[in-house]
Amino acid sequence: MINNTNNNRFLFLLLIIGIFVSISFLNRTILLFADFDQVDLGVFSLIKLYTVGLFYDLVASLYYSIPLVIYITLIPNRLFNAKIHKLLFLAIFFIATYLLIFNAVSEWFFWEEFGKRFNFIAVDYLVYTHEVIHNILESYPIPLLLSSILIINIILFVLIVKKTSLISRTFNSNNTFLERSKTAMVFLLLPILFFNVLDKQNLSNISNNQFNNELAKNGLYSLFSAFRNNTLDYDKFYKTKETQVVMSHLDTLEGFDDTHLKKVKNEGQKESNYNVMLIMIESMSAEYIGVFGDKRHLTPHLDALIQKSLFFDNLYATGTRTVRGMEAVTLSVPPTPGSSIVKRPDNHSMFSSGFVSKQKGYENKFIYAGHGYFDNMNDFFSNNGFDVVDRTDFEEEEISFANVWGVCDGDLFGKAIQESDKSYTQNKPFFNFIMTTSNHRPYTYPEGKIDIPSHTGREGGVKYTDYAIHDFLEKAQEKPWFKDTIFVIIADHNGGSAGKTELPLWRYKIPLIVYAPHIIKPKVIHKLSSQIDTMPTLFSLMNWEYESPFYGNNILDPNFKERAFIGTYQKLGLVENNNLLVLEPNKTIEQYHITTQSLRDTQYKRENIVSAESTLDAITYYQSASYFYQHHLHKWVH
């Protein structure tokens, strides 16, 4: 289709594709060495990794080249061969290669943070540009990085222009528009074909080792694939059963009545109206906490607090994002595929813990260190039973330190005490949902509070948050409302999502601490449980009677069914009976037996036969949760 006499201008296109593939190959190899000890380095595994990777690189390069294909097809010969156009073309070439190198460098930092190629998290980053850009500026030496990329690009540009003849042969083309169109059709039809077919075939699933699968992908392709699939229709992508079968089994599993509601009784005990201070800690995985086995002494205050608290040491987050944790705790539902309900439309007046407590006479506040428009948090909470207090409500004198994500945790807790005082003065029981931010890149916080300098990494972020919580509780003890307050401390999600498996169970483990020295006796609860059980357990401690569609249950109930829900935006996992069952978005199901579980590792053995009982349970939980949301059935109607 391309020859040296009539279609010379398309040689430039081949050059761009060649550079794209070469940079992608080099980038893949660098990322491989970054986690060398985690990758399956078998000969056949590496062959599959690089073969599939090359295919994805070629597909991505075709997408990347679409604007250029259209441009060089439409421009007439007399303009294409003009001297001014040659200069313009060289500028386009320079920019195109610069962007490719910039993307490779960006992927390195994304991989360092998440152990993944670009995914739906990167899509979110493209939406919230203010926070993300400033986070990057505060975290990395951007002028140095951009200058280095520029120097590398200049060297590459000079070598290609001076040492090859492809660019000079591109000009002086005399082919007709029809001839150009025939070649262009090949370059345009292939991306269309891949767009409609390739996403349905997960070719990168080449190994049981998730690092190999991620390395087989192309970052740019994964980015746009995630953008396309950020919302997934459960019935279209996952294994299903008849709705009647699912709903009947759900009623059996959860004790729902025929309207799919659960009536919680208090067995004649008097209801309490204790204040609730729920602290959701950013990225506080079990792996950072001493009582779970960590030896770095990052959480001395939390470790001491746990000894005086009701502590749940076998509880798991439902996802890897803050909004997933908020969704799980507030709505008490398993994660549904795609983005969190917090970020979706049609999420107003959901049946939430906020409305349950509001019905009991509580004053509810969502207190956030940053700007709550991020991830749609303000809209979600303000329409689901909470008043919002975010950074816009902080007076200048109330802020001692802040970064792009918000005020430091110490200032946040100061605001929480102030808001609690207001409620107490008005003789109203309060439910404060507090969301911290300091344990988040760029990991900056006030100097002099802990023995780790600010801006030196996650360990400092963890230890500062530990300090801030301790300082908060010390100040709260001086308040008249302290003795009647239950402090619930829980993480939003794990500190990182990288692992050899798509759903590394150990990373989802988080603490749940319930502290109320005048109300609740210390005890450790070892039952396997989920983030969605948080509020039903709290409500049971206060002997509340209520009716709800909550999937979560009271962990302290002797008949509590032990299970946990974990997932990504695509893969949905159910942990029960020492097995992990995973629903895949290609209507398949995998089951793994958990052989060993430690602080930083979970070993699985893939089962050849998938349990029919576990399959029915998993489909029931996830299909019904998606069904209720899609049909607007979990609405607050009181």
194 and 342 co-located in one domain: no
Tell me whether residue 367 is in a domain: yes
Torsional sign, CA 254, 258, 264, 268: negative
Tell me whether residue 634 is in a domain: no
Tokens 């979990």 belong to 634
User: What pLDDT shows up at residue 499?
Assistant: 58
User: What pLDDT shows up at residue 84?
Assistant: 85
Amino acid at 219: G
CATH assignment at residue 522? 3.40.720.10
Phi, psi of 438 (to 5 degrees): -65, -30
User: What pLDDT shows up at residue 6?
Assistant: 46
β-pair partners for 523: 310
339 and 208 co-located in one domain: no
Both tokens assigned to 64:
């990347």
Q: Which of 553, 581, 604 is the last residue of a domain?
A: 553
Q: What is the pLDDT of residues 113-147, one digit of tens each?
A: 778 888 766 766 665 566 667 777 788 888 999 99
pTM higher than 0.85 for the full model? no
221 and 311 co-located in one domain: no
Tell me whether residue 250 is in a domain: no
Amino acid at 164: T
- Element (H or E) spanning 580, and its range? strand 579-583
In terms of Cα–Cα distance, which of 515, 510, 553 is closest to 532? Answer: 553
375 and 467 co-located in one domain: yes
79 and 147 co-located in one domain: yes
Tell me whether residue 254 is in a domain: no
CA angle 216–221–223, rounded 5-degree value:
110
Tell me whether residue 562 is in a domain: no
95 and 165 co-located in one domain: yes
Q: CA separation (Å) from 513 to 139, 505, 563, 581, 633? A: 31, 20, 19, 28, 32
Q: How far apart are CA 209 and CA 254, in angstroms?
A: 35
Tell me whether residue 256 is in a domain: no
Instruction: Specify whether the CB–CB gap between 333 and 339 falls below 8 A.
Output: no
224 and 308 co-located in one domain: no
Instruction: Specify whether the CB–CB gap between 556 and 589 falls below 8 A.
Output: no
Query: Would you mind telling me the total number of residues written for the chain in this entry?
Result: 638
Tell me whether residue 611 is in a domain: no
100 and 176 co-located in one domain: yes
β-pair partners for 403: 406
Instruction: Specify whether the CB–CB gap between 215 and 110 falls below 8 A.
Output: no
Tell me how many domains the chain contains: 2
Q: Which of 228, 261, 288 is the last residue of a domain?
A: 228
153 and 57 co-located in one domain: yes
Residues of the chain with pLDDT under 50: 4-7
358 and 498 co-located in one domain: yes
Q: At what angle do helices 243-254 and 612-630 cross, to 10 degrees?
A: 100
Q: Which of 524, 553, 582 is the last residue of a domain?
A: 553
- Is the preceding omega at residue 442 within 30 degrees of 0, hence cis? yes
217 and 314 co-located in one domain: no
Q: How far apart are CA 299 and CA 36, in angstroms?
A: 30
In b/e form, how buried is each residue of 606-623, taking b as 16+ CB within 10 angstroms? eeeebbeebbebbbbbbb
Tell me whether residue 178 is in a domain: yes
- Residue-range definition of the domain harbouring residue 439: 275-553
415 and 528 co-located in one domain: yes
Both tokens assigned to 443:
């990991």
